[in-house]
Copies of this chain bind each other. A is one copy, B any other.
Amino acid sequence: MAVSMHDVARHAGVSQRTVSNVVNGYAHVAPATRARVQASIEALHYRPNPIARRLRRGRTSTVTLALPSLHERYFADLAAAVVAEARLRELKVLVETTEGDREVELRILRGGDLLTDGVIMSAVALTAEDEKIRHPDYPLVLVGDRQLRSQIDHVGADNRRAAREAVLHLLDTGRRRIALLGVGHGPTRTFNLRRRGYTDALTRYKLPVDERLLIDSTWTRAGGEAAIARHLASDSPPFDAVFAMNDSAAFGAMRAVLRSGLKVPADVAIVGFDNIDEAHSSVPSLTSVGPAYADIARAALDLLQVQADSQGERQPEQRRVPFELHVRESSTPPSRKSRA
């Protein structure tokens, strides 16, 4: 067995209590005593046993992060953010992968093994019905773009606001005829929110929505390219910017625009959604809105803390965190120099 607090106490000729006081940096320890205890700690190479401490304190200072996988960049980045934010709060993070397996998600909903102080989960297989089996006292926060759950705290990104910011960026840099690419496809809820953000921005500038600039297209590269090419070849009204529902469609649009002989961003600015890797490596690089991972992590850990502090008589909360707009070459104002 390793050396315990008791051993140190004996070695220093004090009580265990005093050793504990020294180790935990409590006040009211005579300097001489403290020094003696410190010496014994070093002499014996004493290290406090964190498990005993956890048992005694009744808290683990650890949270579980349950994700479908770590192979997708989105989840890996989210995990990185949670680990970083947890570190600031002196918390550890236990990572579990669910592989999107409903059974695994259900087990976590029931409290898993109760090993940590709570769980942050990105659930993909749970249904609204499943909520009922949730462990009543075990802190749990859901993250991600899934449907709102009525009874469980949830952190999601603010699609409407993100779209508004993206479009405002285009308006702020002088664009006035902004096409919305990806209409009629994608997850309905998500699309509606983003379209509303598009409208919000135009309204802010007192501009009407021109229905002819709402371009029907799947959220794919091929779909975006075909739709934009078709638009450009037709007698539809021209645009000086494209706001695409995701980056794939945006890249398709970029290709169609360039092939038509127009320049990006000089003639047409392009903004995408999701901020995929390619967005910053493409030529020109693509302006895009992406999740603000640090904000998500912070909100999730905050909610866990709130649950731990409350005695159960709370109403569940939905926290919307903003996306981040990454301005790149595809929308750099024509008047400015494009960045390297």
Using a CB–CB cutoff of 8 Å, the interface residues on chain A facing chain B are 1-2, 47, 49-52, 54-55, 58, 60, 62, 69-71, 73, 76-77, 79-80, 83-84, 87, 92-97, 111, 113-115, 137, 277
Contact = CB atoms under 8 A, between A and B. Distances in A.
Given A49-B114, A50-B113, A70 B80 contact: yes
Contacts of A50: 113-115
Contacts of A1: 58
Contacts of A77: 70-71
B79 A70 contact: yes
Between A2, A62, A95, A114, the greatest number of chain B beta carbons within 10 A of the residue's beta carbon is seen for A95
A94 B94 contact: yes
A324 B47 CA distance: 42
Contacts of A114: 47, 49-50
Contact of A70 (B76, B92, B111): B76
A45 to B, nearest CB: 9
Given A51-B60, A71-B80, 13 more contacts: A2-B137, A51-B51, A51-B115, A70-B77, A71-B76, A71-B77, A73-B76, A76-B76, A79-B79, A79-B95, A83-B96, A87-B97, A95-B95
Contacts of A111: 47
22 contacts: A47-B114, A50-B113, A50-B114, A50-B115, A51-B54, A51-B55, A51-B115, A69-B80, A70-B70, A70-B80, A70-B83, A71-B77, A73-B76, A76-B79, A79-B95, A84-B97, A87-B96, A87-B97, A92-B94, A93-B94, A93-B95, A93-B96
